[in-house]
Amino acid sequence: MVEKKAMNKSTYKAAGVDIHAGYEVVRRIRKHTESTFRPEVLGDIGSFGSFFALDTTKYREPVLVAGTDGVGTKLKIAFMMDKHDTIGMDVVAYCVNDIICQGAEPLFFLDYLAVGKTRPEKIEEIVAGIAEGCRQAGCALVGGETAEMPGFYPEDEYDLAGFVVGVVEKDRSLTGQGAEAGDVILGLASSGLQSSGYSLVRKVFFHDHDYQVTHHFDELGRSLGEELLEPTLIYVKPILSLLSKLNVVGIANISGGGLPENLPRSMPGHLDAVIKKGSWPIHPIFGILQRIGNVDEVEMYNTFNMGIGMATILGPNQVDGAIEELARHGIKAYAIGELISGQGEVVFR
């Protein structure tokens, strides 16, 4: 005869989901989200949906532009460092930097955070970073979702993604199709790796070699972990200022795939982008990666931004003014190449 074991009553908390911790998260993040609100935001966080009253009097033909992205395996570095206050800036950056390529002003942002276990203080750190990113981009953090998923994610890990909606006047939207041979490619400096190529980064430093996040490289002037967690730059306000003053005909967010993959998305298919190597300073982290990992130069340029976080295309007579305008916003920019007749390719010389 098989004896039945005595069983306790089943509860959601016993299954690994603590709804009261979720309530504490909402209480903690309220001040962060409210700090990002624009006048168009209606209501408060916690509703089923978020209201945003678009001011249509500002536009003749408003076009909404949407984008979504995640942080990727850079999250693993945050886990290793147990540092979570900047990773939210990365998810905002990768979303808003995409839609600014169409000339769109970001309006509002939502995040999705999936955790193995709800730890209110850690989630507050993450959301504080998201709120800071939204403030830098000038968009409102109007809502999101925190999903506790025990058994799916380890207790100390999480995934993070975001979604942004922006607006642009229809006749001012950018497609890159107005670019011509002779136009100049202006490269905007990145903050380093930003948030792309981290699967290769982790392989080189932590799998192929036994580096710790506390390791110091003289070239970096700080720990490896601090360098790898450097937030992605948010280019929204400098680019919007540039668009208001000069005739920019194409913009590319240089994320995963580097210049070869992303530049062609901002120019006509009958042109090539000729990039002049050595025309901009390359951040030391790329040299360290290439040396330690024995990474081929072609692989480096096809995986990482190599020091260029955003590229704009504009006429030769606009270059000096653009560099000056970007400098006023703290962004260094370099003339890194030009467009010539071709087949939509990126050529390094």
Q: Per residue in 44-102, pLDDT tens?
A: 776 788 999 999 999 999 999 999 999 999 999 999 999 999 999 999 999 999 999 99
Q: How far apart are CA 63 and CA 50, in angstroms?
A: 19
Q: Classify 27 as helix, strand or coil.
A: helix
Contact call for residues 193 and 306 (beta carbons, < 8 A): no
pLDDT digits (tens, 9 = 90+) for 155-195: 999 999 999 999 999 999 999 888 999 999 999 999 999 99
pLDDT digits (tens, 9 = 90+) for 118-130: 999 999 999 999 9
Contact call for residues 145 and 274 (beta carbons, < 8 A): no
pLDDT at 210 over 60: yes
Enumerate the CATH 3.90.650.10 domain ranges in the chain, comma separated: 184-348
Q: Where are the beta strands (DSSP E) in the chain?
A: 41-42, 51-52, 62-70, 105-115, 140-148, 158-169, 184-189, 216-217, 222-223, 248-253, 271-275, 308-314, 333-341, 346-348
Mean pLDDT of 294-321: 97
199: number of Cβ within 10 Å? 14
Beta-strand pair 140-148/105-115: parallel
Enumerate the CATH 3.30.1330.10 domain ranges in the chain, comma separated: 19-172
Q: How far apart are CA 120 and CA 214, in angstroms?
A: 26
pLDDT digits (tens, 9 = 90+) for 246-269: 999 999 999 999 999 999 999 999
Domain 19-172 fold is 60s Ribosomal Protein L30; Chain: A; (3.30.1330)
What is the edge-to-edge ordering of all strands in the sheet holding 184-189? 248-253, 308-314, 184-189, 333-341, 271-275, 346-348
Let me know the angle formed at the C-alpha of 168 by 167 and 170, rounded to the nearest 5 degrees. 130
- Of all residues in the chain, what percent carry a pLDDT higher than 70? 97
Let me know the angle formed at the C-alpha of 146 by 140 and 148, rounded to the nearest 5 degrees. 170
pLDDT digits (tens, 9 = 90+) for 272-298: 999 999 999 999 999 999 999 999 999
Domain 184-348 fold is Phosphoribosyl-aminoimidazole Synthetase; Chain A, domain 2 (3.90.650)
Residues 6+ apart with CB under 8 A from 190: 232, 233, 254, 283, 305, 307, 308, 309, 310
Q: Give the phi and the psi of residue 180 in degrees, each rounded to 5.
A: -130, 160
Q: Give the phi and the psi of residue 124 in degrees, each rounded to 5.
A: -60, -40
Q: Classify 37 as helix, strand or coil.
A: coil
pLDDT attached to residue 26: 78
Sign of torsion over alpha carbons 70, 264, 104, 336: positive
Q: Give the phi and the psi of residue 272 in degrees, each rounded to 5.
A: -110, 150
pLDDT attached to residue 13: 78
Q: How far apart are CA 190 and CA 188, in angstroms?
A: 7
Q: Tell me, letter by letter, the H, E, C secondary structure of 118-175.
A: CCHHHHHHHHHHHHHHHHHHCCEEEEEEEEECECCECCCCEEEEEEEEEEEEHHHCCC
Contact call for residues 195 and 255 (beta carbons, < 8 A): yes
Statement: the pTM of the whole predicted model exceeds 0.95: no
